[in-house]
Amino acid sequence: MKKRNVYAAMAAAVLAHSGLLPAAHAETGPAAFDGFWRSVGYNTVYQVRDGQLATFDTTSVSCLPGVLTAERTSVTSTSATFTSKTIARQLTFRMRGPGRARLSYLGGVGGIEVRRITGLPPACSSPAAKDPRAVFDVFWATFAENYPFFAVKGVDWRAVRDRHRPSITSATSDEQLFTVLRDILQELGDAHTALNAGPHQFARPLRPGTRQLDGLPAFQAFNAKVQRFVEEHAVEKPLRTWGRDLIGYADLPGRIGYLRLVAFDGFAEKGGFAANAEVLDRALADIFPRSRTSGPKRLRGLILDVRVNLGGYDALAVKLLSRLTARPYLAYDKQALLRPGTPPAFTRPAGVRVNPGEAPPYTGPIALLTGPLTISAGETFTQATMGRTPAPVRVGDNTQGAFSDFLWRSLPNGWSFALPNERFLTASGESFDATGIPPHLSVPDVLNDRELAGNRDRTFERALSALR
């Protein structure tokens, strides 16, 4: 991290950073964002100093340097953009008024409100205990203060602590501690939790009862079977693909289109959001030419298959929807847990909207195929379709029930973990965390390999019937 030049105002800086006096800051330019900022929700403190950004994860029992660090890569009079190598993301601060700013991630939706503070919380200046019980306490407190879904999951978090904490002592090994934390995450069954403990990794424990495709070979094999089945019904073969085969399209008889996306990320060989967005734009230009969206040969219906969609950038999901509507509408409201309790308090809703693109959109009927491996951005996409006119008919099974961004946190012993802290609401205030979004037409066991091997796909067939 670069050294800060404080010769001109050393005394004022010392007082301000100690919290004894408010800090004076330039209103515009690179120095406008220097200092300390606390998030509204998220329990994060941001420090900006000489073009470097650092984060601190706070709980009622701890303050630890966060996973995210970044370097400023551009600045205007009212905004500053930072690029992180630790999480391969780009984030931008935008001034919203005196002492107020909004932080947004490239490829994300919504944003995080931040308020200027005079210095780090006192706990940040004290060395953190690193013994196994201290690690457990930070882990437990982080969930207690940020996780909104204990009630809907049917988990008594205090009982979890009382059951596990007594077994953890100074003699507890790393392997034993990892096992305890892993088992707790497994009990939650939340696909947006993860634990990174050096050589030990644990991620995405799915909702109980979810049939999994174990590993990349099984995932690829299932998609290959779906592709072969669709090609049997397609007007032209083979299925046309883009984005490293993660996007596929075929014309079916009767002017029905079939569009499959197995992720909202990974379309480009390298690069982040911008590279992926460019590939998606090219694909959508090919998939929805004017001949398919208007005129006598326009599509009469569209099957949109996200039964296996493991997520990615929410903004790419919204980008796809901009080609499927002629009018703007609310995709969803996004909130973060502010304070746990009964009832819990959340941040003000941040509305995310779908706006039509410049190209002629497809505005006809849609049958949307979903299932328990419709996860993360696949689910925010599914939820965002609900405000479309006409709304799609959902066919298949409930989605996974994991919508929030990952909130990555540090532990005192150098490990890190992730949890969700946000909920996504429909225009009527409904959320689908834990349970997933239900279908209109239920088809149990949407990932049936034996059925596909026998050249049958009941979910596809129900969708086709719904459009005819």
Per-residue pLDDT of the chain (468 residues; tens, 9 = 90+): 333 332 223 223 322 333 333 344 445 566 789 999 999 999 999 999 999 999 999 999 999 999 999 999 999 999 999 999 888 789 999 999 999 999 999 999 999 999 999 999 999 999 999 999 999 999 999 999 999 999 999 999 999 999 999 999 999 999 999 999 999 999 999 999 999 998 899 987 888 888 776 666 777 788 888 888 998 889 988 899 999 999 999 999 999 999 999 999 999 999 899 999 999 999 999 999 999 999 999 999 999 999 999 999 999 999 999 999 999 999 999 999 999 999 999 999 999 999 999 999 999 999 999 999 999 999 999 999 999 999 999 999 999 999 999 999 999 999 999 999 999 999 999 999 999 999 999 998 888 878 888 889 999 999 999 998
Beta bridge partners of 71: 52, 83
Distances in whole angstroms, Cα of residue 386 to Cα of each of 332, 426, 428, 458? 9, 8, 11, 23
Q: Are 458 and 451 in contact (CB under 8 A)?
A: yes
Q: CATH 2.40.128 occupies which residues in the chain? A: 7-125
Q: What are phi and psi of 403, to 5 degrees?
A: -105, -35
Q: What is the pLDDT of residue 208?
A: 83
Tell me the CATH class for 7-125.
Answer: mainly beta
3-state secondary structure of 14: helix
Kindly provide the b/e burial profile for residues 40-73, where b requires at least 16 CB atoms within 10 angstroms of the residue's own CB.
Answer: ebbbbbbbbbebebebbbbbebbbbebbbbbebe
Q: CATH 3.90.226.10 occupies which residues in the chain? A: 215-467
**CATH number for domain 215-467, candidates 3.30.210.10, 3.40.50.300, 3.40.50.620, 3.90.226.10:** 3.90.226.10
pTM recorded for the entire structure: 0.91
Q: Give the pLDDT confidence of 330-343 residue by residue, as tens digits.
A: 999 999 999 999 99
CA distance 407 to 404: 9
Task: Give, as one character, the DSSP assignment of residue 458.
Answer: H
Q: Are 435 and 398 in contact (CB under 8 A)?
A: yes
